[in-house]
C-alpha cells in the first residue's frame, strides 16, 4: 500500500438477489468474509436492516460470531447495532460474549437510525404503549459504562457491570451516522467515527467538525475517521456501470415504498432506460477499473481526511461482488501489507 494513508475494510449488507433466499445471502456473507480475511482487508462489518426483501442482515450480533469463527485475522463487527431498539445491558453482554469468542477482534459500531420504516421500528419495541423517547445519548452512556465498568457504585445496575462475559477484552466502540448529531456524540465521547457516505455524500464537513471538537478519552487519544463508500470495481469501466444498475433500481423502488429483491442486471438496465428520471438522483458511487476506483477513493479519503475507508456494494451476482473486492485488494497490495504487518 505504498503511498496510501488509509486502511480498507468491508461493510456487508447480505444482499438477497431475486430468485434466491436469505439462506443463500448468508452463505455468501460467510464466503465473502473468508475472502476479505485472506485478501488483507482490515475490518468486516455486518449491517442491521429489518423487514427487507433485499437485505438478509437483520441481526449483526447473530452474524458476527459465525463470521469471526470463519476467519482468522480480520476484525469483525456491527455496522451497526441500532441502539434505540435494545437494552444497553443486553448489547453489552452480547458483545462481551463475542469478544470472548474472538478476543481482540470485535468492533461494536452503534447507530441511532431505526434501520427500517416506522411501522417496523414500532414492532421492534418491547413496550408498545407509547413511542420510545429520543434518548440515544443516555443509552450510549449506559452502554459505555457497562463495558468500561464505570457505573457509580450507587447506581441500581452497578453490580451488573462486573458480571459481563470475560476473557476477550472490551470491543472497540464506534459511533456511526450520517448526521450532525452522530458527529457531535462521537467527538464529545472520544469515539472513532464512521460516516455513511453511501447514504449522505455531503458529510466531509461533519467529519471535520468531529475532528475539531474531539475530546480525547481513555478509548482514543486522537480523532479517527472512517467513511463508508459505495464502491464497485470491475475489469472495465463499462462493466462496473452495468453492475451498478441493480442497486439503483432497488433503491428507487425502496424510496417509492415498493421494496424488491436485488434484480438481475438486464432487468435493471431495461427498467432504468424506461425510467430515466432515476439517473438524476444517483448517490455517490466510486466505480470503474481498479485503478479508476483507487483514484476515486483517494479523492474521497482526502475530502474526509479519512484514516479508513469501508467499501460497500449490492450486486445480484456473488461472484462479481467478490471479484470487486479481489480486484481492489490486488490494486492496493492489501495481502502483502497485512502479511508484513
Q: Could you tell me the three cell numbers for 298?
A: 483517494
Contact 207, 225 (CB under 8 A): yes
Q: Rounded CA gap, 309 and 9, in Å? A: 6
In this model, does residue 279 exceed pLDDT 70?
Answer: no
In this model, does residue 257 exceed pLDDT 90?
Answer: no
> Tens digits of per-residue pLDDT, 147-161?
999 999 999 999 999
Q: Rounded CA gap, 152 and 253, in Å? A: 49
Q: Rounded CA gap, 332 and 40, in Å? A: 10
User: Residue 197: which of 283, 116, 279, 112 has the closest Cα?
Assistant: 283
Contact 191, 175 (CB under 8 A): yes
Average pLDDT over residues 279-305: 91
Work out whether strand 172-177 and strand 308-312 pair parallel, antiparallel, or are unpaired: unpaired
Contact 58, 48 (CB under 8 A): yes
Work out whether strand 225-233 and strand 7-12 pair parallel, antiparallel, or are unpaired: unpaired
Confidence label for 2 from pLDDT (cuts 50, 70 and 90): low
Q: Rounded CA gap, 157 and 154, in Å? A: 8
- Average pLDDT over the chain, rounded to whole? 93
> Tens digits of per-residue pLDDT, 55-105?
999 999 999 999 999 999 999 999 999 998 899 999 999 999 999 999 999
Q: Rounded CA gap, 47 and 181, in Å? A: 20
Q: Rounded CA gap, 37 and 102, in Å? A: 14
Backbone φ and ψ for 38, nearest 5 degrees, come out as -70, -30
How large a percentage of the chain has pLDDT more than 70? Answer: 96
pLDDT for the residue numbered 159:
94
167 phi-psi bin (left φ>0, alpha ψ -120 to 50, beta other)? left
Q: Is the pTM above the cut of 0.75?
A: yes
Give me the domains of the chain, ranges plus CATH numbers: 7-340 (3.20.20.30)
pLDDT for the residue numbered 3:
61
How large a percentage of the chain has pLDDT more than 90? Answer: 82
In this model, does residue 281 exceed pLDDT 70?
Answer: no
pLDDT for the residue numbered 95:
98
Amino acid at each position: 500500500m505504498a503511498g496510501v494513508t488509509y486502511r480498507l475494510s468491508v461493510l456487508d449488507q447480505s444482499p438477497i438477489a431475486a430468485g434466491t433466499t436469505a439462506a443463500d445471502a448468508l452463505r455468501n456473507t460467510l464466503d465473502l468474509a473468508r475472502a476479505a480475511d485472506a485478501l488483507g482487508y482490515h475490518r468486516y462489518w455486518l449491517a442491521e436492516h429489518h423487514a427487507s426483501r433485499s437485505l438478509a442482515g437483520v441481526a449483526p450480533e447473530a452474524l458476527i460470531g459465525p463470521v469471526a469463527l470463519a476467519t482468522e485475522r480480520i476484525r469483525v463487527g456491527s455496522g451497526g447495532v441500532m441502539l434505540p431498539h435494545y437494552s444497553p445491558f443486553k448489547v453489552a453482554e452480547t458483545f462481551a460474549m463475542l469478544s470472548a469468542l474472538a478476543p481482540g477482534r470485535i468492533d461494536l459500531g452503534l447507530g441511532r437510525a431505526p434501520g427500517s420504516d416506522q411501522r417496523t421500528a414500532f414492532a421492534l419495541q418491547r413496550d408498545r404503549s407509547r413511542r420510545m423517547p429520543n434518548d440515544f445519548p443516555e443509552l450510549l452512556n449506559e452502554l459505555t459504562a457497562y463495558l468500561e465498568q464505570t457505573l457509580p457504585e450507587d447506581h441500581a445496575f452497578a453490580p451488573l457491570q462486573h458480571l459481563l462475559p470475560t476473557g476477550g477484552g472490551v470491543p472497540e466502540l464506534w459511533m456511526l451516522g450520517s448526521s450532525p448529531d452522530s458527529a457531535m456524540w462521537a467527538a464529545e465521547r472520544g469515539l472513532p467515527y464512521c460516516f455513511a457516505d453511501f447514504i449522505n455524500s455531503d458529510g466531509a464537513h461533519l467529519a471535520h467538525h468531529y475532528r475539531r471538537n474531539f475530546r480525547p478519552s481513555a478509548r482514543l487519544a486522537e480523532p479517527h475517521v472512517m467513511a463508508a463508500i459505495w464502491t464497485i470495481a470491475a475489469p472495465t469501466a463499462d462493466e462496473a456501470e452495468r453492475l451498478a444498475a441493480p442497486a439503483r433500481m432497488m433503491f428507487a423502488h425502496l424510496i417509492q415504498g415498493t421494496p424488491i429483491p436485488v434484480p438481475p442486471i438486464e432487468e435493471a438496465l431495461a427498467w432504468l432506460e424506461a425510467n430515466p428520471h432515476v439517473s438524476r438522483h444517483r448517490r455517490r458511487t466510486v466505480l470503474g477499473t481498479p485503478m479508476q476506483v483507487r483514484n476515486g477513493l483517494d479523492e474521497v479519503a482526502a475530502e474526509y481526511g479519512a484514516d479508513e475507508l469501508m467499501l460497500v456494494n449490492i450486486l445480484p451476482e456473488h461472484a462479481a461482488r467478490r471479484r470487486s473486492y479481489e480486484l481492489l485488494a490486488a490494486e492496493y497490495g492489501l495481502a502483502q501489507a497485512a502479511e508484513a504487518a
